[in-house]
Amino acid sequence: MSDITPGLWELLLKGLWVTFQLTVYSAALGAAVALVIGLARTHRLWIVRFLSGTYFEIFRGTSALVFMFLVFFALPIAFGWQLVPMWAAVLAMGLTYGAYGSEIVRGAVAAVAPAQREAGIALSFTPAQSMRKVVLPQAWPEMIPPLNNLLIELLKGTALVSVLGVGDISFGAQLVRNATGQSAPVYTVILVMYFVLAFVLTRGMRVLERQAKAGIGQAPPKRRKLSLRQTKDLATSGGTGGAA
């Protein structure tokens, strides 16, 4: 570890900042995609359900890394415009993880009791009003724990962009490795950095969950100590996340 000079540390910290930005921007785009596609998959028109379902199925079968290569190489040639690598990465990640997230949104919305929708109809809300005022506020707290898992998968997924030359921590680590000729220290350091980031994100999501649950009058859930994640959906649905 002593071989990592202050200059190289700076490189890693810059990379950390890029990774953080990538995560936040991709998560924002992903959330928008997840909401739109997830709600579209519960739409009353079959064509809307079909198109959004197709989008989901395609990304479910797509390898994130291969898709990222396509965005980087094919997009400029096919459409003649070249994105800044950072934004190309955000686009690829947002579309991919948004597709996984749509399944979470769809599931949580479908799990809201039908009586609640009927109540919305009884109050003569429009479908959009009913969704916004009745269904989503109840579905939201249910979404947060699986979305937390997905967010960590996304954070881990950001490492892929280093392969395409975006200067995130993993990319920084390769530079440091080349400079010092040693691999063990720098890779240990950045693995710990990722873990700490995942830990911080989880804490943030728990605060969010507590607030969301309190907002509809529920107590916060108890959890396994030590674990960063809720394991229920891991076991039953098997990886909505990173790769699945």
Partner 1 sequence: MKWDWSAVSDFMPRFWDGVLVTLQALALSVIVAFALGLVWAMAQRSPLKVVRWPVTAITEFVRNTPLLVQLFFLYYVLPEWNITFSALTTGVIGLGLHYSTYTAEVYRAGIDGVPVGQWEAATALNLPRSRTWLAVILPQAIRRVVPALGNYVVAMLKDSPLIATIGVLEMLGEARQFGSITFQMVEPLVVVGIAFIVIAYPASLLLRALERRLVR
What does the binding site for partner 1 look like in residue numbers (CB under 8 A)?
57-58, 60-67, 69-70, 73-74, 77-78, 80, 152, 155-160, 162-163, 170, 173-174, 177, 182-184, 187-188, 190-191, 194-195, 198-199, 226-229, 231-232, 234-239, 241-244
**Considering the complex, what minimum distance in angstroms separates the CB of residue 168 from partner 1?**
10
**Considering the complex, what minimum distance in angstroms separates the CB of residue 85 from partner 1?**
16
**Considering the complex, what minimum distance in angstroms separates the CB of residue 217 from partner 1?**
29
Which one, 114 or 238, has the nearer CB to partner 1? 238
Which one, 39 or 176, has the nearer CB to partner 1? 176
**Considering the complex, what minimum distance in angstroms separates the CB of residue 90 from partner 1?**
17
Measured CA to CA, the distance from residue 165 to residue 127 in angstroms comes to 45
* Contact criterion met (CB below 8 Å) for 216 and 141: yes
Look up tokens 């009927």; give the residue: 118
The upper half-sphere exposure of residue 237, i.e. CA atoms within 13 Å in the direction of its Cβ, equals 17
Alpha carbon distance, N-terminus to C-terminus of the chain:
35
**Considering the complex, what minimum distance in angstroms separates the CB of residue 21 from partner 1?**
16
Q: Calculate the CA dihedral of residues 171, 172, 175, 176 and round it to 10 degrees.
A: -140
Which one, 66 or 219, has the nearer CB to partner 1? 66
**Considering the complex, what minimum distance in angstroms separates the CB of residue 68 from partner 1?**
10
Which one, 138 or 149, has the nearer CB to partner 1? 149
Look up tokens 């995130």; give the residue: 168
Which amino acid does the sequence have at 68?
Answer: M
Find all residues with CB under 8 Å of 84, minimum gap 6, and list them.
Answer: none
Measured CA to CA, the distance from residue 33 to residue 194 in angstroms comes to 25
Which one, 64 or 139, has the nearer CB to partner 1? 64
Which one, 116 or 180, has the nearer CB to partner 1? 180
Find all residues with CB under 8 Å of 63, minimum gap 6, and list them.
Answer: 243
Could you tell me the two tokens for 174? Answer: 């390769």
* Contact criterion met (CB below 8 Å) for 170 and 162: yes
